[in-house]
């Protein structure tokens, strides 16, 4: 591996150490419905986002709430001595991608059949801190 590639790989590795995310795969909800919930919390502070998801009437919000709690737990795992309130965590990125599509047939009049597409999606949620931690300031 050349020097440039190695240096770039090391930078990417360092960036991943401060990257806190959670993934939810093969959710049996259409991506369009999930994106409505994702747009609701994108860029919001974590506690506000949790409140919004908890009191939302949409079914997809329950799954996103659980995913956000998982991302917060991943953040806590690497930052043991820091409180969430002090870190000022927010939802930095949330992406909803299309998953696999189950194709089914429904009987239609006159011996025909209509295709039904049962969609699923993948959700990736990243949290970040607005405040720079004291460890990164020392280095």
Prediction pTM value:
0.82
The domain at 19-133 falls in which architecture? Alpha-Beta Complex (3.90)
The pLDDT value recorded for residue 134 is: 52
Mean pLDDT of the chain: 91
Domain spans, the chain? 19-133
Long-range CB pairs of 39-47, under 8 A, 24+ apart, other chains included: 41/68, 41/91, 41/94, 42/91, 42/93, 42/94, 43/90, 43/91, 43/92, 44/90, 44/91, 45/88, 45/89, 45/90, 46/72, 46/84, 46/89, 46/90, 46/91, 46/127, 47/84, 47/85
- Per-residue pLDDT tens over the stretch 43-85: 999 999 999 999 999 999 999 999 999 999 999 988 888 888 8
């Amino acid at each position: 591996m050349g020097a440039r590639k190695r240096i770039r790989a090391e930078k990417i590795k360092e960036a991943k150490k401060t990257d806190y995310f959670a993934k939810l795969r093969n959710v049996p909800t259409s991506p369009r419905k999930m994106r409505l919930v994702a747009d609701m919390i994108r860029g919001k502070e974590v506690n506000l986002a949790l409140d919004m998801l908890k009191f939302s009437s949409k079914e997809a919000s329950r799954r996103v709430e659980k995913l956000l709690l998982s991302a917060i737990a991943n953040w806590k795992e690497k930052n043991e001595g820091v409180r969430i309130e002090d870190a000022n965590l927010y939802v930095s990125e949330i992406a909803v991608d299309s998953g696999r599509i189950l194709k089914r047939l429904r009987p239609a009049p006159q011996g025909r059949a209509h295709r039904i597409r049962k969609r699923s999606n993948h959700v990736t949620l990243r949290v970040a801190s607005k405040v720079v931690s004291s460890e990164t300031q020392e280095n």
